[in-house]
């Protein structure tokens, strides 16, 4: 819709608010509204009225815990304030396991035995989501509601935590290559926290957008790729734990290359520098050459798979570099 700008006094310009919007949210003379600048646009919003976003998920036909989990996580990321979950069946568990957050594998079973009931799956998922909780549970439904207020400051803190947790995972892998397997086992726990912050950041972007609004798709893509880096670290840790042979000096050298690249992209993200961006591209060429040389020397499929995941980390870091350049322009 278009609005004509009206001049009042010497330096004041005003526009009228749409009457339907005013009535819906009970705007009165003297009411306060939020006005934020987003490039060429102005976003006008209010805390008044019924502006709660809602969605309903029917899980009656979802017979796998992992599928229920994904649907709830997607609704959370999308930014809904209330998520109504219907079709919850009692479940017929034959196997009970200790409750653990280490990995989603505890929801899976090699047989047809149901490890977790639907409501346990919902509770486990909601417990891992920042700022929401189950506020009502009756019969075959439950209601998940946002109990917090999000801000750009919280977003910035969560985003930095993602980088720091990735650096911790990387350090644990380095220790694992030197023989400390306990550090490798801890990566699942670290990655759980990393996923929580990633989901929270994506939720904020879907609800509010990025501070520089037109950059929202770029920062959204960056967070998704950071999540994929974490997934690769988790796979690397699992391969190292499963491998019986001693890790060669070449594999340790290759990982150091990728670890150094992670340090560079972290620095670049928070303090852009053209020379540092150029250095990332140059070091990637060295890493790619080392991967080709090493791959031909490896004798086991397990070792080749490990190097493949190293390669994917390098590819993701290049993608993050491109996106960081996009943010700068």
User: What one-character-per-residue DSSP string does 247-271 give?
Assistant: PPHHHHHHHHHHHHHHHHHHHHHHS
Query: For the domain that residue 247 is a member of, what is the CATH number?
Result: 1.20.58.220
User: What is the pLDDT, as a whole number, of residue 179?
Assistant: 83
Q: pLDDT tens for residues 192-206?
A: 889 999 999 999 999
Helix axes 65-78, 187-208, angle to 10 degrees: 40
Whether the Cβ atoms of residue 141 and residue 86 lie closer than 8 Å to each other: yes
The average pLDDT across 148-175 equals 90
- Distance between CA atoms of 261 and 259, rounded to whole angstroms? 5
pLDDT at 102 over 50: no
Average pLDDT (42-70) is 80
- Is residue 1 assigned to a domain? no
* Same domain for 118 and 31: no
CB 298 within 8 A of CB 310: no
Q: Which of 113, 146, 179 is the last residue of a domain?
A: 146
Instruction: Average the pLDDT over 230-245 and give the result.
Output: 87
Q: Do 71 and 114 fall into the same domain? A: yes
State the average pLDDT for the chain.
85
Can you tell me the distance from the alpha carbon of 178 to that of 240, in angstroms, rounded to the nearest whole number? 10
Q: Are residues 135 and 111 in the same domain?
A: yes
Do 242 and 208 fall into the same domain? yes
Instruction: Give me the mean pLDDT over the 94-99 stretch.
Output: 44
Q: What are phi and psi of 243, to 5 degrees?
A: -75, 135
Q: Is 75 within the bounds of a domain?
A: yes
**Does residue 310 share a domain with residue 166?**
yes
Domain that holds residue 222: 152-328
Six token digits for residue 47: 């805390």
Residue 109 has pLDDT above 70, yes or no: no
Residues 100 and 199 in one domain: no
Q: Can you give the pLDDT at residue 148?
A: 83
Domain count of the fold of the chain: 3
Note whether 200 and 130 are within 8 A (CB).
Answer: yes
Of the listed ranges 150-154, 188-192, 280-284, 313-317, the least confidently predicted one is: 150-154
Q: How confident is the model at residue 114 (pLDDT cuts 50, 70, 90)?
A: low
58 has pLDDT over 80: yes
Contact call for residues 83 and 72 (beta carbons, < 8 A): yes
pLDDT of residue 3: 85
pLDDT at 210 over 80: yes
What is the pLDDT confidence band of residue 97, given thresholds at 50, 70 and 90? very low
- pLDDT confidence of 89, banded at 50, 70, 90? confident
């Amino acid at each position: 819709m278009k609005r004509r700008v009206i001049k009042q006094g010497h330096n004041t310009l005003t526009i009228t608010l749409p009457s339907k919007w005013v009535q819906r949210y009970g705007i009165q003379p003297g009411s306060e509204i939020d006005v934020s600048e987003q490039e060429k646009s102005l976003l006008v919003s209010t805390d008044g009225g019924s502006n709660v976003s809602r969605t309903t998920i029917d899980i009656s036909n979802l017979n796998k815990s992992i599928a229920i989990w994904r649907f709830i996580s997607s609704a959370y990321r999308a930014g809904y304030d209330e998520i109504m979950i219907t079709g919850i069946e009692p479940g017929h568990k034959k196997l009970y396991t200790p409750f653990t957050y280490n990995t989603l594998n505890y929801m899976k079973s090699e047989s047809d035995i149901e490890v977790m009931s639907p409501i346990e799956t919902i509770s486990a998922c909601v417990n891992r989501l920042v700022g929401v909780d189950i506020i009502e549970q009756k019969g075959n439904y439950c209601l998940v509601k946002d109990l917090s207020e999000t801000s750009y400051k919280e977003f910035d803190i969560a985003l930095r935590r993602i980088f720091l947790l990735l650096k911790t995972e990387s350090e644990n892998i380095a220790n694992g290559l030197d023989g400390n397997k306990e550090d490798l086992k801890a990566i699942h726990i670290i990655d759980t926290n990393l996923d929580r912050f990633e989901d929270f950041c994506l939720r904020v972007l879907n609800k509010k957008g990025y501070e520089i609004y037109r950059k929202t798709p770029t920062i959204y893509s960056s967070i998704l790729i950071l999540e994929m880096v974490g997934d690769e670290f988790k796979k690397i840790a699992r391969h190292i734990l499963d491998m019986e042979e001693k890790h060669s000096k070449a594999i340790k050298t290759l990982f150091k290359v990728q670890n150094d690249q992670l340090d560079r992209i972290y620095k670049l993200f928070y303090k852009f520098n053209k020379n540092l961006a150029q250095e990332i591209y140059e070091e990637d060429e060295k890493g790619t050459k080392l991967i080709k040389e090493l791959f031909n020397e490896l004798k086991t499929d397990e070792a080749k798979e490990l190097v493949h995941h190293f390669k994917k980390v390098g590819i993701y870091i290049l993608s993050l570099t491109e996106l960081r350049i996009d943010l700068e322009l």
